[in-house]
Amino acid sequence: APHAHHDSKWRTVALVILPIMGILLVIIAIYLVRPRDPGVVTVVYSDGQTGAADINTGDILDATDPRAGLEPRLGYRYKLFVEDESDDRTSGVAKIGGRVTFIPGARRGQTVIADVTRVRERVVDANLIRVLSEIDLPPKAPPAPFEPAPGDSAGHVIAGAEMDVIISEASSKNPDTEGIARVQGLVVVVNGVPTVGERVNIRITDRRERIAFAEPTGKPAGTDPLPDASSPSAFRRAPRSRGFTPAPGDRAAHVLPGAEMDVTISEESGQNPGVDGVARVEGLVVFVEGVPVIGETVHVRITDRRERAANAVPTGKPAGSGSSSPSAAAPAADDPAGHVLPGAELDLTIEELSRKNPATEGVAKVEGLVVFVQGGTSVGETVRARITGRRDRVAFAEVIAPSAP
């Protein structure tokens, strides 16, 4: 009898607890499955309704038909036909609603899928997603031969011209196969010669306003100097400038040809949007070739200086490298070497090798002024050099042309 009473007690407890636990489990389940924050539908668009085209649904918009009247939109994906190539031959050129669109890696004759990454006032940038098809287009009509403008200091750099150059940096686009040289400030892309510091004899294959393309001739460097200006076969040469002299109190007096510094692009060039950028140094406008990205900080070398503006090209060095050019010193009125100023171009004879850098630098003298010549390493050799820096008793220069005849 006591045992039966004990079982009845536990049965009663179980009958009380089990319903309570069931109720609790139901409450917990309802709490877990109910939506936390109910969504709010603000507007509903149906297919074909006005306004529906403004929503990016992830569709591919066909811009191969110029009659479609599409507008380029940031983040949208388009089907495009590549009808041309950029001047530097690294990007294909298509059009979205008549607006020029640059697609790096695309080639003329391809139909591609590309995502728009940037929309500017006149041009559009897009990333290549995939190539759908490719056809062989008829060769483009050769452009009219480039005619240098009056006063172009690189007027002799035209298609077919041969000359020696020194590779100053590797190409940022194709560092393993191309090198960059400069002739009178003009950028020359040399195919097949990426070694910095190498001197090579080249033939110009194409010349445009601010860039030229070249290939090695196979001739040893130094055996085919530029013709003398009096020769009937001489290249056209513009009068050489003695260099810009800053006025007293000029806050941008250090911005002179040859000087290197960091600048930040504040706007695109109005003349070449999408290609060049504009920076400011102490209020002086500096046009930077090949860097149109607003806000980008880049290390540049000044190639030309005028009263209210300067021109520069990227050095290829990382931003933060600082200045590598000595500042200019104003010569005294009776200084016999007063014409030796940054930007001046002179014929210099190497008298000895630099003690500090004998493998890369020679020493010349102008009216008693010592000039360290970067790239002039053959004693007795006469080279054409540009002054890059001037101090009271010493100057610095770089070789810009082969030995004078």
Fold of the domain spanning 240-325: OB fold (Dihydrolipoamide Acetyltransferase, E2P) (2.40.50)
- Please give the share of the chain, as a percent, with pLDDT higher than 90: 13
Q: How far apart are CA 305 and CA 307, in angstroms?
A: 7
Average pLDDT for 80-92:
85
Give 320-350 pLDDT, tens digit per residue.
Answer: 755 444 444 556 667 787 778 777 788 889 9
Q: How far apart are CA 45 and CA 43, in angstroms?
A: 7
Where does 345-403 sit in CATH, by number?
Answer: 2.40.50.140
- Span between the terminal Cα atoms of the chain, in Å: 133
**Reading across the β-sheet that carries 297-305, which strands appear in turn?**
260-264, 297-305, 309-314, 284-288, 277-281, 267-268
Quick check: 129 and 105 in contact, CB under 8 A?
no
Element (H, E) at 31: helix 2-33
Q: How far apart are CA 91 and CA 20, in angstroms?
A: 73
Look at the block and give the residue holding tokens 């009178």. Answer: 184
**CATH for the 146-239 domain, from 3.90.230.10, 3.10.20.600, 2.40.50.140, 3.40.50.1100:** 2.40.50.140
Our measurement of the distance from residue 366's CA atom to the centroid of its chain's CA atoms, rounded to an integer in Å, reads 37
Measured CA to CA in angstroms, residue 74 lies from 56, 68, 225 at distances of 10, 18, 52
Q: How far apart are CA 264 and CA 281, in angstroms?
A: 9
Every domain of the chain with CATH number 2.40.50.140 lies at 58-134, 146-239, 240-325, 345-403
Fold of the domain spanning 58-134: OB fold (Dihydrolipoamide Acetyltransferase, E2P) (2.40.50)
Q: How far apart are CA 274 and CA 392, in angstroms?
A: 42
Give 134-154 pLDDT, tens digit per residue.
Answer: 998 887 776 677 787 777 778
